Chains A and B, each alone.
Chain A
Amino acid sequence: MIPESFDLTNCDREPIHILGHIQSHGYLIAIRPDTYTIVHASDNIVDLVGIPASTLLGQPIDTLLTATDLPASTLVELLNVSRRNETWEILNPHRITVNGTSWNLIMHQYQNLVLLEWEPVGDDRNTLINQQLISQALTEVQTSRTLADLLQNTARRVKTIIGFDRVMVYRFNEDWHGQVVAEEKDEHLESFLGLHYPASDIPRQARELYKVNLVRLIADVNSVPSPILSVPNWSTDKPLDLTHSVLRAVSPVHIQYLKNMGVQASMSISLLYRDKLWGLISCHNSTPHFTDFTARQAAKFVSQLLSSALEFRKDKEDQTNLLQYRQVGQQLHEQLLLSDDVARALTKQSVTALDVTGATGAALVFNNRVYTLGETPDEQAIRALVDWVGTTTTESFLETNQLPNLYAPAEEFRAVGAGLLTIVLSRELNEYLFWFKPELVQQVTWAGNPDKPVTVEDDGIRRLSPRTSFAAWTEIVRNTSERWTEAEISVVVKLREDILQIVTRQANEVRLLNQRLQLAYEELDAFSYTVSHDLRTPLSSIRCYAEILVEEYGQDFTPDAQALFQKVIDSTERMRRLIRHILYYSRMGRTELDTRSIDMKHLLEGIREEILVTEKDRSLRIEIGDTPPIVADSTMALQLFTNLLSNAAKYTQLTYEGIIKVSGRQTDQEVIYSVEDNGIGFDMKQAGKMFDLFKRLENARNFEGSGVGLAIVKRIINRHNGKIWFHSEPNQGTVFHVSFPVTPAD
């Protein structure tokens, strides 16, 4: 029964190495290595020795040849020699003539049984030609021909040696589908060169066998296989293992497959590269065709030469690229070391990040800028790509030759970036280096529809059967670029280390600078504090002694001298205020914020009271409107509103009836307070430097002031991540707005 969800993995499970049959062009017996007792024999052995298999089973080997013209001792001596040498294969093939016909005897031991197989001999004259071909092959592998040439010539040689009408070199891809990469064929045959075959055509356990038994011959697909009989007491669940047999029968599935293709004889030779099945030399013949042991050995030898060349040549290709990329990588590293600008070193100098791989485009996303080289997606697409890479778990690098399959929007720019190689410089800062390879629109010609390998028979029952149609079936492979080679990946991974080293070094330098700046800041703070304290003390003395002079000797002064002394006293007062403001200013920049929700009604009323005390001799009204709380440092908030309201009071001194309105309103993100006065106002055009330290506007000249008050306000606003803006016109009053974010700073 074929399960409903039938798929080709069923094919994978077919037990092809224990089919219980051999091909009928030869004969097989299996004996125990110690007693030489016959435990298995092919049913057709009677044709060779004249005794039926059933009679031979359980008998000593001597029995085998009793009905032939050979003495039994011939075989026994041969076995003895092999046993003494502890190898059964050294004498392969051993020529035996039975009743006038020559046979090659091929022996091997496997799983505690010795298998003896007889198969026909070939034409001895070929041996010399084959030796010549082998030596040609050897010479060619040693000279540096291209891989394509090597494959083609190997196919030609194998064809000459084994005489099949078609010899193909079949190469496996990573997904185990295969492609015909070289072909030597008789002229009348249709070419299979370039055709692709689905992975299911050569199922997994067949590939495993190809790795163990390198040569496989199917002499005639139409021959009726001969069953293998076993001694009567042989356990049926331990059939003879034919893994290394040269006569092993063929799975019916494979026979069907070959018949579908019009092939009557086939032979394959495995091509191994680093113990992995790289490909096969696959030989077809449209009529039954037997290739004898020596010719098979010659073909195998030629193929093994090719395998070693593969290893050598592929390595060399990789090495050359790796060397070149490494040199570029080294140069980039030097540029990085010499420059303090990572982006410049990677994108603007003689060698760029683009040269480090075979990519056609590269993009550096660094310090929130995008630098592109060569053919790349546009900046917007690159930024979107950055976001996407950020969502992946990529820690150091990511490579794909099918980006649109991972990230659908990449389909838009597949013409330049179907393949992506990226290294992560900083996930936190979204910094990456990308390399792009363009889409290679590949037309893959399949031998038959790869998606329809299952056939449904007329009776409607699904049958395990290979594809019946081998008409070329093409498929366009989109969204795919050339692969990233190991050389490319290893070089960019190294480059990543180099860049990170430089970035870390620079970060450390910045950190050191920061530490020094911090230190300088603290020194400045201590300095300004000390200076202002030290200035205040003698200033107080000047003032006090001036006052003492006026008090104790004032009666002796002329009015002019009295006025002069008053100027001294007033000046010390101004200087004292200035020093105090500078102290505040430096303190507002340095002190740590202690933010809390502030009762603004209370705060503003306190300020109003103080101002009204000092301004009691004139008409001034301070109106307090809505007072939503703000989240701020209370000392600083007091300072800020005191400054704003004092300013408003100061610049309304000349107004007949001064009015100051202060109120706040709350939005989703912030609390905005406005302080409005009807004072002298100012020209907005001059207001640019209003918040700079010691800057005063022209029409404020006649008012007392240090030029520090608004600088303090601005500083406090900055510390709270708030905003300050204003509107004014000369003689039309001024309104200042300050906003505090709802979520506090720091």
Chain B
Amino acid sequence: MVDILYVEDNLNDADIFCRLMGKLNRTVTYTVLHSGSEALDYLTGKGQHEQQRLGLPKLVLLDINLIGVSGIDVIEQTRSFERTRFLPIVVFSTSDNPKDIQSAYQAGINAYVVKPGSYQATGTLLRKLCDFWLENNTRIDYR
């Protein structure tokens, strides 16, 4: 069980995420997956994760412009399973297109965050996200 599951197919963004997580003044555990299908397997305990019966992360950070299974697909499928119906999902995307935002909310996200595009700003943002979703937010616990 990890604190954050980050789904991101851009390796640079994933790398920058890891660097910034390492700089936080506390320990946050995370897993980075690089495709939508992997994320679904992880969350539903299928494929290579079948044997592992993993606990659910406290937060899913999800890029929606994924190649193959899109972020929207991931959200919709996740919401269709009882176990992950109320899993906190925050979109973390470059896109500020109202259409993308609308469809993400329609699919059932909890929040939408546009990537700030700079290192400093991203660091600040991740700190805030961790504070809120890992500390302040109260979840429904499914095991």
Residues of A in contact with B (beta carbons under 8 Å apart): 529, 533, 536-541, 543-548, 551, 569, 572-573, 576, 580, 583, 587, 591, 635
- The answer to whether B65 and A540 have CB atoms under 8 Å apart is no
B124 at the interface (CB under 8 A from A): no
B119 at the interface (CB under 8 A from A): yes
B94 at the interface (CB under 8 A from A): yes
- The answer to whether A576 and B117 have CB atoms under 8 Å apart is yes
Closest to B23 in A: A551
B95 at the interface (CB under 8 A from A): yes
Q: B1-27: which have CB < 8 Å to A?
A: 10, 12-13, 16, 19
- The answer to whether A540 and B97 have CB atoms under 8 Å apart is no
- The answer to whether B19 and A540 have CB atoms under 8 Å apart is no
Which 7 interchain pairs have the tightest Cβ spacing? Answer: A547-B119, A541-B12, A544-B119, A540-B117, A536-B94, A544-B16, A543-B118
- The answer to whether B118 and A529 have CB atoms under 8 Å apart is no
The smallest beta-carbon distance between B83 and chain A, in angstroms, is 32
- The answer to whether B94 and A533 have CB atoms under 8 Å apart is yes
Q: Which of B13, B19, B98, B115 touches A635 (beta carbons < 8 Å)?
A: B98
The smallest beta-carbon distance between B93 and chain A, in angstroms, is 9
Closest to A548 in B: B119
Given contacts A533-B65, A537-B13, A541-B12, contact A547 B94 (CB under 8 A): no
Chain B CB within 10 Å — which of A536, A538, A539 has the most? A536
Q: B64-101 toward A: CB 8 Å interface, digit per residue (1/0)? A: 01000000000000000000000000000011111000
- The answer to whether B97 and A529 have CB atoms under 8 Å apart is yes
- The answer to whether B95 and A540 have CB atoms under 8 Å apart is no
- The answer to whether A539 and B117 have CB atoms under 8 Å apart is yes
- The answer to whether A537 and B94 have CB atoms under 8 Å apart is yes
Closest to A540 in B: B117
Interface size class of B (residues with CB under 8 A): 10 to 19
Cα distance A580–B10 in the bound complex, in angstroms: 20
Cα distance A547–B19 in the bound complex, in angstroms: 12
A540 surroundings in chain B (CB, below 8 A): 13, 94, 115, 117-118
Given contacts A536-B117, A547-B118, contact A541 B16 (CB under 8 A): yes
11 pairs from A and B in contact (CB 8 Å cutoff): A533-B65, A536-B94, A536-B117, A538-B12, A544-B12, A544-B118, A544-B119, A545-B12, A548-B16, A572-B117, A591-B98
Cα distance A546–B120 in the bound complex, in angstroms: 11
Closest to B16 in A: A544
B10 surroundings in chain A (CB, below 8 A): 537, 541
Q: B127-140 toward A: CB 8 Å interface, digit per residue (1/0)? A: 00000000000000
A573 surroundings in chain B (CB, below 8 A): 118
Closest to A591 in B: B98
B12 surroundings in chain A (CB, below 8 A): 537-538, 541, 544-545
Closest to B93 in A: A533
Residues of B in contact with A (beta carbons under 8 Å apart): 10, 12-13, 16, 19, 65, 94-98, 115, 117-120, 122
B98 surroundings in chain A (CB, below 8 A): 587, 591, 635
The smallest beta-carbon distance between B108 and chain A, in angstroms, is 23
Cα distance A162–B20 in the bound complex, in angstroms: 129
CB contacts between A and B, total, < 8 Å: 50
Closest to A569 in B: B118
Closest to A539 in B: B117
Given contacts A533-B65, A540-B13, contact A551 B94 (CB under 8 A): no
A545 surroundings in chain B (CB, below 8 A): 12, 16, 119
Q: Which of A547, A576, A587 touches B97 (beta carbons < 8 Å)?
A: A587
B122 surroundings in chain A (CB, below 8 A): 544
A551 surroundings in chain B (CB, below 8 A): 119
- The answer to whether B118 and A533 have CB atoms under 8 Å apart is no
B117 surroundings in chain A (CB, below 8 A): 536, 539-540, 543, 572, 576
A537 surroundings in chain B (CB, below 8 A): 10, 12-13, 94
The smallest beta-carbon distance between B12 and chain A, in angstroms, is 4
Cα distance A544–B12 in the bound complex, in angstroms: 9
Given contacts A540-B117, A541-B13, A543-B119, contact A548 B94 (CB under 8 A): no
Closest to A549 in B: B119
Cα distance A544–B15 in the bound complex, in angstroms: 10
Closest to A576 in B: B117
Chain A CB within 10 Å — which of B13, B95, B115, B118 has the most? B118
The smallest beta-carbon distance between B112 and chain A, in angstroms, is 15
- The answer to whether A547 and B95 have CB atoms under 8 Å apart is no
Cα distance A572–B12 in the bound complex, in angstroms: 16
Closest to A530 in B: B65
Cα distance A543–B120 in the bound complex, in angstroms: 10
The smallest beta-carbon distance between B139 and chain A, in angstroms, is 30
The smallest beta-carbon distance between A556 and chain B, in angstroms, is 18
Cα distance A543–B122 in the bound complex, in angstroms: 11
Cα distance A529–B119 in the bound complex, in angstroms: 24
A635 surroundings in chain B (CB, below 8 A): 98
Cα distance A551–B20 in the bound complex, in angstroms: 12
- The answer to whether B120 and A547 have CB atoms under 8 Å apart is yes
Given contacts A544-B122, A547-B119, A548-B19, contact A533 B95 (CB under 8 A): yes
Closest to A529 in B: B97
Cα distance A538–B94 in the bound complex, in angstroms: 11
Closest to B119 in A: A547
Chain B CB within 10 Å — which of A537, A540, A545, A580 has the most? A540
A533 surroundings in chain B (CB, below 8 A): 65, 94-95
B94 surroundings in chain A (CB, below 8 A): 533, 536-537, 540
The smallest beta-carbon distance between B82 and chain A, in angstroms, is 34
Cα distance A551–B120 in the bound complex, in angstroms: 10
B95 surroundings in chain A (CB, below 8 A): 533
Cα distance A536–B19 in the bound complex, in angstroms: 20
Cα distance A583–B65 in the bound complex, in angstroms: 17
Cα distance A545–B122 in the bound complex, in angstroms: 12
Cα distance A548–B16 in the bound complex, in angstroms: 9
A591 surroundings in chain B (CB, below 8 A): 98
Cα distance A533–B95 in the bound complex, in angstroms: 7
Q: Using A544-B118, A545-B119 as known contacts, list a sample of 12 further A-B pairs with CB atoms less than 8 Å apart, ordered by residue number in A.
A: A529-B97, A537-B12, A537-B94, A539-B117, A540-B94, A541-B12, A541-B16, A543-B118, A544-B12, A545-B12, A587-B97, A591-B98
